[in-house]
Amino acid sequence: MEKLIITCALKGAETTRDSNPNVPYTPEELAVAAEEACVEGASIIHLHVCQDDGTPTMDPAIYEKAHDLIKKRTDAIVQFSTGGAVGMSLEERAAPLDLKPEMATLTTGTVNFGREVFYNPAQYMETLARKMAELDIKPEIEVFDAGMIKNALFLVKRGLLEMPLHFDFVMGVPGGIGGSAAELNFLAGMIPEGTTWSVAGIGRHETTLGTMAIAMGGHVRVGFEDNIYYHRGVLAESNAQLVARMARISREIGREVATPEEAREILKMK
């Protein structure tokens, strides 16, 4: 089986130290957390930034600082979020792309997000996809529900996205698809031959879905954005601890973990 790509989502727009005091905030803290995660086997760093008090921001100056520091400490693929936080404008969400990260997320549809709405109408998808193509940024298609796969394939048909796509199934967000084995199997069966996928299981689904993905030949995302616990009721100490568990499970069943260079090859980025 192809080596396993582990993405580490160091912090989410919605994750704060109120829920886990180990969440990294500043560019320096994010870079240290990225390095620790890479030592344990992460090859992609999914990046959200915030102000010093944890307030989410898409400020390009903060993204630039975090990006530079992560690149100094690791050779990971740095993947910017274009989802940002619920309620951010398209302009805000697109702005950090000018820094030309290697990779960025693209959510191909609108979804309820707890009691809020994560808004991704056609104009948002098209603008972000065009900008990523212009700047040669590899998109990762974020799928919160099944219809988003169809939307992404429609963008390919219209020439706005290029094959082979890489999907990330974000499963277990209240409002989106659930976190069962049947649902993962359904999504993995919907994507065309030659494309790649990973799974980001939210909360308690992180380890179960990640383990299933390892066995199925998919890839895995873990980290504080998706889950702040190591075990039920026990907070994780670091992002690296969550990465290490996935790497260990994968090696135990005979699947090696990809380096960043190997991840670039698997994702056809070079």
- By beta-carbon proximity to ligand KMH, the closer residue of 14 and 126 is 14
Show the site string, 71-110: x = touches Zn ion by CB under 5 A, - = not. Answer: ----------x-----------------------------
Of 7, 8, 10, 12, which one interacts with ligand KMH (CB under 6 A)? 12
- By beta-carbon proximity to ligand KMH, the closer residue of 86 and 133 is 86
Pick from 71, 58, 128: nearest CA to 101 = 71
Residue by residue, DSSP assigns 202-216 as -TTHHHHHHHHHHHH
Stretch of residues binding ligand KMH (CB under 6 A), selected from 12-20, 35-43, 58-66, 120-128 = 12-20
Tokens of 40: 């344990």
Of 7, 15, 16, 107, which one interacts with ligand KMH (CB under 6 A)? 107
In the chain, how long is the greatest CA-to-CA distance?
A: 47
Q: Yes or no: say if 243 and 40 are a contact pair by the CB < 8 Å rule.
A: yes
Residue by residue, DSSP assigns 218-255 as -EEEESTTT--EEETTEE-S-HHHHHHHHHHHHHHTT-
- By beta-carbon proximity to ligand KMH, the closer residue of 11 and 250 is 11
Please report how close the Cβ of residue 154 comes to ligand KMH at its closest, in angstroms: 19
In the block, tokens 């009691």 appear at 115
The residues with which 220 forms a beta bridge, in sequence order, are 6, 199
Show the site string, 39-78: x = touches Zn ion by CB under 5 A, - = not. Answer: ----------------------------------------
Site for ligand KMH in 123-182 (CB under 6 A): 142
Please report how close the Cβ of residue 138 comes to ligand KMH at its closest, in angstroms: 14
Q: Tell me the CA distances in angstroms from 110 to 145, 168, 175, 211, 267, one per residue in order.
A: 9, 15, 10, 28, 26
Residues written for the chain: 270
Tokens of 100: 């030309």
Stretch of residues binding ligand KMH (CB under 6 A), selected from 79-87, 126-134, 158-166, 183-191 = 79-87
Q: Angle CA(166)–CA(133)–CA(171) in degrees, nearest 5?
A: 30
- By beta-carbon proximity to ligand KMH, the closer residue of 113 and 197 is 113
Helix, strand, or coil (residue 261): helix
Please report how close the Cβ of residue 265 comes to ligand KMH at its closest, in angstroms: 24
Where along the sequence are the contacts to ligand KMH (CB under 6 A)? 12-14, 81-83, 85-86, 105, 107, 113, 118, 142
